[in-house]
DNA sequence: GATGAATGAGCGTTCATTCAT
DNA sequence: AATGAATGAACGCTCATTCAT
């Protein structure tokens, strides 16, 4: 009977939602398992039926939230491509990045939660559920293919862009230093274009 | 009599050394004050005569280690400038960065310790003790002045370079992913040159 | 199932009994939560499931012990009233006081514990559980009503009597100074009669 | 050389003053020896040259402050006797008590500090330094002698009065309950007169 | 005599984990 | 499957006391 499976899924989701709220409000170090369970209307012991410890729940959440952000960015990219056909490959990348930055800017809590916990290893393996479980590299590959351009060391290229975006936005959005987000964007996107050019063949 | 002052200095250094060892071995979250003291051959209470808590000792250490690295890089830059007079401004920056990367590469433990705790706020305020307490921006300014070039938004420029170096090296050195450090360097330095060019006036 | 509730009640009582023993033996300041728990054959953490801190347990105990004493005194008063109908109002008060003093005299440990912690605020609010939660003033009022006498400022009157009894007995019972309890009683009861007379109307 | 003796006396007084300030501000339990010393501009170790622990300093202070209050009351009594010759013995006692109450009412901090720590044993042994080290009983005896009256069990009589005053004033002044100090005074003084009468011979 | 660095036992409190129900 | 009472190790922190200077 699927009813039991459904109930278990609901419990797990309740724990994830509860933990996300507490982690972003008070930080993972100041959140106890007991609190996560109580905030999800469960007994402490029940937590252990679903997760080994709070770090297991954290890993789940980081991947889940990152997935949501990329999914949304991808949808928006498709919308833009549909409207303005002239967009170049570089514009598409910038569009993706911009959409991600906007989401982080509007929700700094998620930025703080994700940024410090999202290593390249996790990031590069994120599967985007609504896109047949493609990961980020797949999406890039697709865009590249459409553009008829050729690049060397595509993974390194993406890695450098992702890290540059992540690191600079973290500071600028959370500390408004050394410049505001709009000021950053101009030069950040110029730098991204330079990096893309640097890796392009011929 | 300075004997007592000397003894206090030694105790403080012993605590710093002990904490550095434990922080890098097991992480600050898994290190207790009690352990730091015991590892420094002291009673627990003695810790509190020198530091408020373990985060105070962490701040000390991050600044101290970062200072050491930049100091060494600056010395090496001067050596190189002394030998090959033809070095351009861009080459000087790359030289500095390369020297920092080499130190981190040889001592990944320090990289792990510093990188996650060195925000731009702390970084941009680090005073290099052996250079009349100049900070990093002062050093850049000096190099720029020698080069007779002009740049807009120098702070943003340095910020972007520092974050790009920091974030990419962290992954590459600690996880050897997505490429090795030598592979990274080539494209990283090319990207840095692009960024410098992007900010140059005329 | 009530079994679990019963077990919790037993744990709480064990903690109260343990704390009472230690408080009266060594004073509350020299008793640690750790000791209270160990003396009740529990782990330290269990204490916190039942009480916020040791002062919460103290408040419980003071009220509980004071309640027991007044309850017993009230019962004895009723016995005496039943036997000798002629007792006047003044005699009834003295009877109550005498019964309280006798209990304290037989159990100085309780006197030491209660007296220093029983402010008028707490005292005047003690509900006597076996008497439909009447408090002390209610009992006095009842006696007054039976006597057909009238008094002004009844609360002040009771306050003065209670404080006089409490303060003098504390010293006499615990230090046998400046006189013995029997010597005190004679003049104490005379003084109480004077005070009652002083507040009587007409 | 008396200079050294003088210096020691000053140190001791500084410690007493420091402790009095801290005890009345934060309570003895929340005051550490370290604080007492620092607040007296001394090193921690110096404390131990003058007092065994903080309770030794407390005993000193209670006696000292009580002494000051009685001294002042006695002076005022003599002033009043000098002016109005008709004052009876009872009036003299009331005058003394009233003066003590007024001091406590104006300085509740001292009341709180003294009242809970002043047992009859300490009280009855207080020597009033400015009166050839007479104690309280001596003063009473003197007043009695002047009055040509005779009393039985003088110590018990004084004890009852002192305890009644102490206990009722403590509550009324510190908690304004169950009545205000002026309301208390009227009936308190009437009660004292009753007690005096009760002990008078013939 | 005076200092204050050093000690370490002891405190209150938290919390991951277990397990009988 | 779900519970939550119980545990006890470990934490940060305080402070009376000692003692070399």
Instruction: Tell me the per-residue pLDDT of A86-97, one tens digit each, with 9 for 90 and over.
Output: 678 999 999 999
Looking at the domain assignment, is residue A145 inside a domain? yes
D3 or C91, greater pLDDT: C91
Q: Are residues B37 and B126 in the same domain?
A: no
pLDDT of residue C16: 96
Q: Residue B193 domain-assigned? A: yes
Report the alpha-carbon distance of residue D164 to residue D3 in Å, rounded: 46
Contact D120 C29 (CB under 8 A): no
* Domain total of chain D: 2
What pLDDT, on a 0 to 100 scale, did the predictor assign at position C11?
95
- At C40, the pLDDT band (50, 70, 90 cuts) reads very high
Same domain (yes/no): A149, A123 = yes
Give the residue whose CA sits closest to F14 at C1'.
B45
Please check whether residues B30 and B97 belong to one and the same domain.
no
Whether C33 and C106 map to the same domain: the answer is no
For residues A30 and A119, membership in a common domain is answered with: no
Give the model's confidence band at C169: pLDDT under 50 very low, under 70 low, under 90 confident, else very high.
Answer: very high
The pLDDT of residue A86: 60
Confidence of residue B104 (pLDDT cuts 50, 70, 90): very high
Interval D66-118: pLDDT, tens? 989 999 999 999 998 888 756 789 999 999 999 999 999 999 999 999 988 88
- Across the interface, do D171 and C159 touch by the CB < 8 Å criterion? yes
Place of tokens 């040159």: B193
Supply the DSSP symbol for A30: G
Task: Check A190 against B198: CB less than 8 A apart.
Answer: yes
pLDDT band at C76 (very low <50, low <70, confident <90, very high): very high
C78 and C26 within one domain: no
Q: Is the CB of D45 under 7 A from strand E?
A: yes
8 A C-beta contact, residue C91 and residue C64:
no
Residues B94 and B175 in one domain: yes
Same-domain check for residues A75 and A138: yes
**Residue A69: inside a domain:** yes
How does the average pLDDT of chain A come out, rounded? 91
- Give the separation between CA B118 and CA B128, rounded to whole angstroms: 15
Q: What is the mean pLDDT of residues B77-81?
A: 88
Q: State whether residue C135 sits within 8 Å of chain D by CB.
A: no
Q: Give me the mean pLDDT over the C11-39 stretch.
A: 95
Give the residue-averaged pLDDT of B178-192: 97
CATH number at residue C143: 1.10.357
Looking at the structure, do residues B93 and B125 belong to the same domain, yes or no?
yes
Find tokens 């020198």 and name the residue: B50
For D159, which of C116, C168, C194 is closest by C-beta distance?
Answer: C168
| B159, B167, B187 ranked by CB distance to A163: nearest | B167
- Closest residue on chain C to D165 (Cα): C164
Reduced to 3 states (helix: H, G, I; strand: E, B; else coil), residue A169 is helix
Cis bond upstream, residue C178 (ω within 30): yes
User: CATH code at A14?
Assistant: 1.10.10.60
Question: Does residue D56 sit within a domain?
Answer: no
Mean pLDDT of the A93-105 span: 96
Which one is predicted more confidently, C9 or D135?
Answer: C9
Is C9 within 7 A of strand F by CB distance? no
Residue nearest to nucleotide F2 (CA to C1'): A46
* Whether the predicted pLDDT of C72 surpasses 70: yes
Residue C2 is predicted with a pLDDT of: 80
- pLDDT value, residue D130: 73
- The residue that leads in pLDDT, A136 or D50, is D50
The whole-number pLDDT of residue A41 equals 96
pLDDT at D184 over 90: yes
- Residue B125: predicted pLDDT: 84
pLDDT at D5: 85
Rounded to an integer, what distance in angstroms lies between the CA atom of residue B156 and that of residue B154? 6
pLDDT at C121 over 90: no
Residue written as token pair 């009859």? D120
- What is chain C's mean pLDDT, rounded? 92
Q: Render B111-173 in DSSP notation, one character per residue.
A: HHHHHTT--HHHHTT-EEGGGTTEEHHHHHHHHHHHHT--BSSHHHHHHHHHHHHHHHHHHHH
Please tell me which residue, C82 or A34, carries the higher pLDDT value.
A34
Q: Find the domain containing C9 and state its range.
A: 1-51
A56 part of a folded domain: no
Judged by C1' against the alpha carbon of A31, the nearest nucleotide is E15
Q: What are phi and psi of B172, to 5 degrees?
A: -65, -45
A117 and A28, same domain (yes or no): no
- How much is the pLDDT for C1? 59
* DSSP category for residue D151: B
Q: Are residues D99 and D39 in the same domain?
A: no
- Collapsing DSSP states into helix, strand and coil, what is residue B40? coil
**How much is the pLDDT for C84?**
73
Between residues A57 and B202, the one the model is more confident about: A57
Q: Going by C-beta distance under 8 Å and a sequence separation of 6 or more, which residues neighbour residue C184?
A: C168, C169, C172, D156
Choose the final residue of a domain: C9, C33, C51. Answer: C51
Query: Which tokens go with D140?
Result: 């009473």
pLDDT at B120: 85
Q: Is the CB of B2 under 7 A from strand E?
A: no
Per-residue pLDDT, averaged over C108-116, amounts to 91
- The answer to whether residue B179 sits within a structural domain is yes
Q: What mean pLDDT comes out for the span B179-200?
A: 97
Checking if the pLDDT of A120 tops 90, the result is no
User: Does the C-beta of B44 come within 7 A of strand E?
Assistant: yes
Domain-ending residue, one of C27, C51, C75? C51
Percentage helix, strand, coil, to 5, in chain D? Answer: 80, 5, 20
Q: Give the pLDDT score at B1.
A: 60
Is B161 part of any domain? yes
Is the pLDDT higher at A124 or at C104?
Answer: C104
| Whole-number pLDDT of residue B132 | 77
The tokens of C90 are what? 């003044």
Can you tell me the distance from the alpha carbon of A137 to that of B49, in angstroms, rounded to the nearest whole number?
53
Are residue D23 and residue D81 in the same domain, yes or no?
Answer: no
Whether D151 shows a pLDDT value over 90: the answer reads yes
């Amino acid at each position: 009977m699927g009813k039991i499976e459904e109930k278990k899924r609901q419990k797990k989701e309740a724990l994830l939602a509860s933990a996300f709220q507490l982690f972003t409000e008070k930080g993972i170090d100041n959140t106890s398992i007991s609190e996560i369970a109580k905030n999800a209307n469960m007994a402490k012991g029940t937590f252990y039926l679903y997760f080994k410890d709070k770090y297991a729940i954290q890993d789940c959440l980081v991947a889940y939230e990152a997935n949501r952000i990329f999914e949304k960015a991808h949808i928006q990219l498709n919308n833009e491509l549909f409207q303005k056909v002239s967009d170049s490959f570089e514009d598409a990348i910038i569009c993706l990045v911009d959409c991600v930055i906007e989401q982080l800017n509007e929700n700094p809590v998620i930025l703080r939660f994700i940024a410090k916990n999202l290593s390249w290893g996790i990031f590069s393996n994120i599967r985007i559920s609504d896109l047949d479980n493609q990961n980020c590299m797949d999406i890039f590959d697709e865009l590249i293919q459409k553009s008829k351009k050729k690049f060397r060391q595509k993974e390194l290229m993406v890695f450098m862009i992702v890290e540059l975006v992540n690191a600079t936005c973290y500071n600028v959005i959370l500390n408004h230093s050394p410049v505001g987000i709009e000021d950053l964007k101009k030069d950040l996107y110029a730098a991204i274009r330079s990096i893309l050019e640097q890796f392009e063949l011929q």
